[in-house]
Chain A
Amino acid sequence: MSKEKTKMIHIQIDGKSLEVREGTSVLEAALQAGIEIPHLCYHPAFPSEGSCRMCLVEIEGRPDLELACSFPVKDGMKVSTQSEEVTKARKNMLEFLLAEHPLDCPICDKAGECKLQDYYEQYGFFESRFEEKKEKKEKKVEIGKTLLLDQERCILCTRCIRFLKEITGTRELGLFNRGVHTGVNIYEGNPVENNYSGNLVDICPVGAITDKDFRFQTRNWFLGSGPSICPLCGRGCNIDIEYHPGFPHFPVPKRVYRIGPRENHRVNGYWICDYGRYHYSYIDEDRQEQIVDNKKEKLDSWERVLDFLKERIKKLYYMNKTSRIAVLTSSWLSNEELFLIRKIFQEDLNVEKIFLTDPLPGEEDNLLLTPERSPNSKGASQMGLNFKELDLNKLAERTEVLLMFGSHITEHFATAQTQEAIGGIETKVLLNPHISDLNSLMDVVLPTCVIAEKEGTLTNVKGLVQPFSPVFEAKGHCRPEWEVLVNLAKKLALNFRYYSPFTSVKPIFKKMQKEIGFFGTKK
């Protein structure tokens, strides 16, 4: 970009003086200043199209109203977004947009988050003057695995078409015919088939494209939403998790209903992939919610299990035999948790057998999805943990205490194989957010939190350290691994003063920044 591009100029919108970058549109300038101008076809990810005409504003010195989305700012420009003429124009545009609209909000999944509905509430309120029959179009076109298109609700803003042209380059949707017959559709039954199709539901400003996964499951206004990070690959896309706040006290069938992108231009822009969007079942399904005590030695509370573990570890420590401890970590753990593992096991206890068990790599695509299928492989590699190569024999050889985080080892070895290898180990403890085949092989299984239930930071593949905090409460008796590790460290009392300030994640993060160069250089 040349220097001139960033020249700043002064304009006024509704009497408010603004300094904006030359070349921005009136609409962008307004949005940046928090002034809302109704718009349907404009989307910040694409060049403006100027097709919906909702964004008309008055510009001093111009004979007609202008499209805010396509009109560039000029020095000294005075814009009015609320004049009588402008609001009248909005009303008129809404009348055009609704002339062929089926007005089926009561049965439309988008109701409550539909821009057309919102604008009608704000500027519409007119008596229908329409006497002609409305055009009948297709109301349920399967345009993709999870996507349904209602052509009657479509306002022809072409956002969907432009997304598939500009972002995925796959062009599965087109605009056919003309005039009142114009309609969006796929070509000859070739569905929208790419790993980003779910974004079409988000960018469609009306209820024309709906998601079969979400459709009719709930009304969107019943849902709460919390910011989080998608843990399903190394990209670390910023997401919003939408859930029913009443669960489980209200008789609703589930907790999490939908995952959507949260804008972050350093990571995922406006999008997330379908893999991350539709695989949210890991948050609520097959969760390990209670402590499993296979030994039947009354290891049925967190307190007792940690005491038991402490005894076992301490004994080995005083016998100078911590080489008989093995720890299986995973990069589903946060930076802080991996840091604690390093402190406690590698530094305090001198444990050598530390392994990394990660999900098997998957296919990547050319947009966001990375081959790493865990959220913190970069963090794990920067933590200064001396991971041993994963080998069942080495892992089990002379091992007396095995501590395992997560069950990804099942992706590397058949359970029978693992069972044979670790069967002879005296103490086997698994910390896992999910129920897995390993449960029966363990002495104790401790229920832990998923990312959405805890606090911490994750380092994405690009090296960006991103904080996350709990969206909702932990299930059952689940606890975050960092808390378990701090409690264990305190019980071991090898370095009590070091761990005692760790009552939350922040002080752990601060220590990590101080001690590990990689995190120190980042904000």
Chain B
Amino acid sequence: MSPEYSDQTKKKVEEVISHYPKKEAALLPVLHLTQREFGKISKEEEALVADFLNIKPIQVREAVTFYSMIHQKEMGKYHIQVCRNLSCTLMGAGTLIDYLKDKLNIEPGETTPDHKFSLSTVECLGACEQAPCMMVNFDYYGHLDKKKIDQILDDLE
């Protein structure tokens, strides 16, 4: 079954397309809107986006696989992205990543069976002054240690 946008999203998609001289230029914002609605951009959503932008699904796939913020599989309710770049690694990100793997019992790139958490490792989050740091969905958490991670995760329902 091919997905369909809700009326509200459809309106937004059409609006954002109208901002660009060429439909296909709206690809990234449309992908974000689409992901917000369906939680992922798999083959079906690719077809939907391609259709709206009048491009081929392969062009959508190129963008989807390039950008790490676009997911081909649905993420857990909370997407934890731990920085593993230089500053964070110097400040102990490695141990924290191992800690999270053990705690959630998943590898980076995986989602817990209850779909609550997904774990990813990412490159510099641009918050080196708070290293080591991570993002949970769109929120930043810095100066992390194991205790702080326990606390953050406990507070999430």
Q: B-contacting residues of A (Cβ < 8 Å)?
A: 171-178, 186-188, 190
Binds A, one of B10-18, B59-67, B143-151: B59-67
Complex: A174 Cα to B62 Cα, angstroms:
6
Would you call B56 an interface residue if the criterion is a C-beta within 8 Å of the partner chain's C-beta atoms? Answer: yes
A/B interface sample: 14 pairs, CB < 8 A: A171-B58, A172-B58, A174-B58, A174-B59, A174-B61, A175-B62, A176-B62, A176-B65, A177-B66, A178-B65, A178-B66, A186-B58, A187-B56, A187-B57
Closest 5 CB pairs of A and B: A187-B58, A174-B58, A176-B65, A177-B65, A174-B62
Contact with A along B22-50 (1 / 0, CB 8 A): 00000000000000000000010000000
The answer to whether B59 and A171 touch across the interface, beta carbons within 8 angstroms, is: yes
Given A175-B62, A176-B66, 4 more A-B residue pairs with CB atoms under 8 Å apart are A171-B56, A172-B58, A177-B66, A188-B43
Complex: A190 Cα to B62 Cα, angstroms:
15
CB proximity of B66 to chain A, nearest CB, Å:
5
Quick one: which of B58, B62, B65 has the most chain A CB within 10 A? B58
Pair count A-B, CB < 8 A: 26
B58 neighbours in A (Cβ, 8 Å): 171-174, 186-187, 190
Contact with A along B59-81 (1 / 0, CB 8 A): 10110011000000000000000
Complex: A177 Cα to B66 Cα, angstroms:
5
B59 neighbours in A (Cβ, 8 Å): 171, 174
Quick one: which of A171, A172, A187 has the most chain B CB within 10 A? A187
B43 neighbours in A (Cβ, 8 Å): 188
Name the residue on B nearest A190 (C-beta): B58
Complex: A174 Cα to B58 Cα, angstroms:
6
Complex: A188 Cα to B43 Cα, angstroms:
9
Complex: A187 Cα to B62 Cα, angstroms:
10
Complex: A506 Cα to B57 Cα, angstroms:
55
CB proximity of A79 to chain B, nearest CB, Å:
35
A171 neighbours in B (Cβ, 8 Å): 56, 58-59
Quick one: which of A172, A178, A186 has the most chain B CB within 10 A? A178
CB proximity of B28 to chain A, nearest CB, Å:
15
CB proximity of A307 to chain B, nearest CB, Å:
66
A173 neighbours in B (Cβ, 8 Å): 58
A176 neighbours in B (Cβ, 8 Å): 61-62, 65-66
B66 neighbours in A (Cβ, 8 Å): 176-178
Complex: A176 Cα to B61 Cα, angstroms:
7
